[in-house]
Amino acid sequence: MNYSNIIYLRKELNKIKILFKKGEFKLVIQKSKTLLKKNPNQILIYNFIGLSYIQLNKIENALEIFLLSNQKLPSEPSTLCNIGIAYKNLDNISKARDYFNKAININPRHLPSYINLGHLENNLNHTEKAADYYLKAYHLNNNSEEVLTYHILNLSAQGKFVEAKKIILELNKKFPENTKSYHLYSKIHKYELDDPHQKLMFSKINIPSSNYEDLSNLHFALAKSFNDQKNDEKFVHHTLKANDTKFKTFKNYNFKLEKDQFEQIKKQYENFDSQNQKNNKGENLIFIVGLPRSGTTLLHQIISSHSKTFGAEESHVVSDFFIKKFKNKNSLANFFSKELVDKDTCIKLSNEILSKYKMYDQNKIIVDKMPFNFKWIGFIKILFPHAKIIHSNRNPVDSAFSIYRNMFDSPGIGWAYNQDYITEYVNLYSDLMFFWKKELGDFIYESHYEKLVADQISETKNILEFCNLKFEDNCVNYTNNNIPSKTISVYQVRNKIYKSSLNLSDKYLDYFPFLKKVKKKAP
């Protein structure tokens, strides 16, 4: 390749890189394929195409292009790592793990492969294995914003808050513009009066900024700090600011899609005859469902402390499956007219889902605490009639208040930052739970949060009996177990049950009048 061609290639690759950063993935693929015709041995071009396909959720296309790249240069670690990413997205965990390790065997300092192995094990709630990979990544490059962030999240999940705080302060120092670090710190820190970290956050928030993500991070963190200090006026002020700025980050958000989904769920279940779909699947599955901030994490810690269970935390196995089926009219029609009506196909679907749960642990009962699985209870009953469903039933007003005062990692719940939408969503949830109870009765165990807090031992025994598990002291003394937690409740679950959370919203009804519109009783 002559010098002029090299210069041309560099310029084109730089243009493609800019397009990729802008999210113009279809254009990246188009331009990269044109460039590839004259430069068939340029691995970077293959990577741009494959990673763009991943962003467009065309994983099979991505895998095809990465494997083609691997044929050109079999010993290129970045390609091997990308093949691993594609297989991970296809839920082929063993192949994903193999390819990440192949990349490391070729280059023991290949940082992306360590990070992706950490993600892989973290998603399976194999926190200790994930910790090892994140720590190795940290030792390879502790000047990486990404590496520092994932190391912090893993330490926090393990309850290693002192160590996590040290890395957060390191992140603050090296990347002072990273506002996420302040929010991470606030989640695991108890603020006293004149707290220096609170003052540091004030120095940041007083700098004019139009970046709503940064502002929301700081306002949520400040709200938490003033709540710790029992300063209601400033807590409310920053909570309102936090939600207002966070909601602005959800461009083109359409709450009607949420409402439509609830309507479709009830309509499809009412019109479906499930009498011939009975099978014997699901005895090794426990689903904990409910609103976010309703006590699902507490129940998960209690049940997954049992010697016969494995806590999968908020697994996306079932939720992703049903979200795809309810994505549009065509997929929905096919699901009910071709898949669920045929007993053999139904069993096949059950086995496919079960195989994904077995990736967590081959032998134990899997506990999935994805709260939003409350939407799919009836369809879980069809696929897994022997599964156990536990509804974490908390005063919906308390849940609504807790939702509004917290920021979630999930990118898809824009309703959580808008008072009117929270009210409507909580009422939609209550209506659907009444529907499920009417249809399914005792298939659902109602674990009332208030009862669990008031009488932990008695309610724990009832829950375990429902799950066909013998009582174990570990389930009462769950704080002694090193069960990881990656949710908003990361700090609270390390403490014993406390009664101060009961009816906490009562104090703030005048500050947040929308709470008065929330239905007070779930089923």
Q: Which domains does the chain have, with CATH numbers?
A: 1-108 (1.25.40.10), 261-495 (3.40.50.300)
Provide, rounded to the nearest whole percent, the portion of the chain with pLDDT above 70: 94
Question: When comparing pLDDT for 415 and 42, which is higher?
Answer: 415
Is residue 305 scored above 80 in pLDDT? yes
Helices (H), 23-144: 25-38, 43-55, 59-72, 77-89, 93-106, 111-123, 127-140
**Average pLDDT score over residue span 144-151:** 94
pLDDT level of residue 28 (50, 70, 90 thresholds): very high
For residue 491, what pLDDT is reported? 46
Q: Could you tell me the end-to-end alpha-carbon distance of the chain, in angstroms, rounded to an integer?
A: 72
In order, the DSSP letters of 425-494 are: HHHHHHHHHHHHHHHHGGGEEEEEHHHHHH-HHHHHHHHHHHTT----GGGTSGGGS-----SGGGTGGG
Q: What does the DSSP 8-state code read for residue 359?
A: T
- The distance from CA 352 to its chain's CA centroid, rounded to whole angstroms, is 21
pLDDT level of residue 30 (50, 70, 90 thresholds): very high
Is residue 504 scored above 90 in pLDDT? no
What is the average pLDDT value for the chain, to the nearest integer? 90
**Average pLDDT score over residue span 258-264:** 92
pTM of the full predicted structure? 0.88
Q: Cα separation of 303 and 485, whole Å?
A: 13
Q: Angle at Cα 162 formed by Cα 475 and Cα 167, nearest 5°?
A: 125
Cβ(380)–Cβ(318) below 8 Å: yes
For residue 487, what pLDDT is reported? 55
pLDDT level of residue 488 (50, 70, 90 thresholds): low
Cβ(367)–Cβ(481) below 8 Å: no
- Express each pLDDT in 278-294 by its tens digit: 678 889 999 999 999 99
Is residue 213 scored above 60 in pLDDT? yes
For residue 336, what pLDDT is reported? 83
pLDDT level of residue 201 (50, 70, 90 thresholds): very high
The top-scoring range by mean pLDDT among 49-53, 208-212, 495-499 is: 49-53
Question: When comparing pLDDT for 52 and 481, which is higher?
Answer: 52
pLDDT level of residue 251 (50, 70, 90 thresholds): confident
The tokens describing 217, both together, are 């991070």
Q: What does the DSSP 8-state code read for residue 335?
A: I
pLDDT level of residue 246 (50, 70, 90 thresholds): very high
For the chain, how many residues are written?
523
Question: When comparing pLDDT for 374 and 8, which is higher?
Answer: 374
For residue 446, what pLDDT is reported? 96
For residue 2, what pLDDT is reported? 64
Cβ contacts of 188-193, under 8 Å, gap ≥ 24:
188/156, 188/161, 188/164, 188/490, 188/491, 189/165, 190/228, 191/224, 191/225, 191/226, 191/228, 191/229, 192/228, 192/229, 193/229
Cβ(509)–Cβ(516) below 8 Å: yes
Amino acid, res. 352: E
**Average pLDDT score over residue span 451-479:** 92
Is residue 413 scored above 80 in pLDDT? yes
- Express each pLDDT in 164-199 by its tens digit: 999 999 998 999 889 999 999 999 999 999 999 999
Is residue 503 scored above 90 in pLDDT? no
